Amino acid sequence: MQALILAGGKGTRLRPLTMHTPKPIVPIAGHPFLLYQIELIKRARVRDVILSLSYQPQKIEDKLGDGTDYGVKVSYRVEASPLGTAGAYRHAAGLIRETTVVFNGDVLTDIDMNEVIRFHRERNATATIVLTPVANPTAYGLVETDGESRVQRFLEKPKPEEVTCNTINAGIYILEPRVLEYIPEGEPFMFEYGVFPQLLKLGEPFYAYTWGGYWRDIGTAASYLKANMDVLAGEVNLLPRPNFERGEKFDATVEIDATSIVDPSCTLKAGAQIINSVISRNCYIEDHARIENSVVRGGSRIGSGATLDGVVVGKSCHIGRSVTIANGAVLGDKSVITDYSQAG
């Protein structure tokens, strides 16, 4: 089997965090996001991975290389202009030789892909879509199935009175190569609106596997922060926690709780407190700063007595002394917050 990860989006919903970092490699608890999806693929004994790229592709290639460091073989297909989910799959046709697992590039989950693959093969399916239940399906597109798990209908953003089920497209598919025949070459085309309706119309064996476990779309800043907190809390266990020792520049009085991840290259001054947070490389945390339930990207400086609670701080930011930032605030790279400011 092969795998294709659709990693070409600009990450507009995740801005400003994706202005200089492509969404597929924004870090989640110390690891580039794509590595979580690659780990899922590896657990299903799939080693041939194709990355479909468009936005800042070189940064992604520089990070992952040929995949050797991660136990897979990575190939790349770069779109000159966005082709949509199915168009990207068609663009990779020259590399697709067999059954392919397809991931949207913004889905964090610990689903057992071995079970999905088994489900697909037992039914001799042309396509299998993974569904996940949500509390409020009106914000998504519903997918209806029958008693044998065959897909019956797609309903995009239904009104409350139109809701017939709570299962939505989880952004994971298993596709046989003949699905390529339903996709025009070189044109923007979507699975949801183009390919899947054709499969239904023509009566192809099209099934749905429902996953009730952990699933999160990391596409917004709020969801990105929550994903980091979920990994810290052990709600999704795919990659090992970075095995960091206390750094040489950590003052002896610094308090770091057991759930936090703090890169040892950082400088932490006297009385600093890090609680349930992720602090990336080369950050400088001044005395008596308190960081809780937050993500601080590399190279940022947090001033003396500053308090951060439930925020995301981009790369190379400067937070002044006695600043208070809370309640989901998001700072883009190189932001500057002057002394005694309050935000959030």
Q: Which residues contact 121 (CB under 8 A, 6 or more apart)?
A: none
- Catalytic residue, from 10, 63, 73, 157: name it: 157
DSSP state of 123: T
Q: How far is 121 from 303, CA to CA, in rounded Å?
A: 56
The residue behind tokens 């979920």 is 230
Q: Is 95 helix (H, G, I), strand (E, B) or coil?
A: helix
> In terms of Cα–Cα distance, which of 179, 190, 188, 143 is closest to 163?
143
Is residue 159 annotated as part of the catalytic site, yes or no? no
Phi, psi of 180 (to 5 degrees): -60, -30
Q: Which helix (H) or strand (E) covers residue 115, if one does?
A: helix 113-122
Q: Parallel, antiparallel, or unpaired for β 27-28 and 31-32?
A: antiparallel
Q: How far is 75 from 83, CA to CA, in rounded Å?
A: 18
Q: Which residues contact 194 (CB under 8 A, 6 or more apart)?
A: 84, 86, 182, 183
Q: How far is 55 from 129, CA to CA, in rounded Å?
A: 26
- CB-based burial label for 331 (10 Å; 0-12, 13-18, 19+): buried
Q: How far is 223 from 123, CA to CA, in rounded Å?
A: 34
DSSP string, 224-266: HHHHHHHHHTTSS-SSPPP-PPPPTTB-TT-EE-TT-EE-TTS
The torsion of the CA quartet 110, 114, 115, 116, rounded to 10 degrees, works out to 80
Residues taking part in catalysis: 157
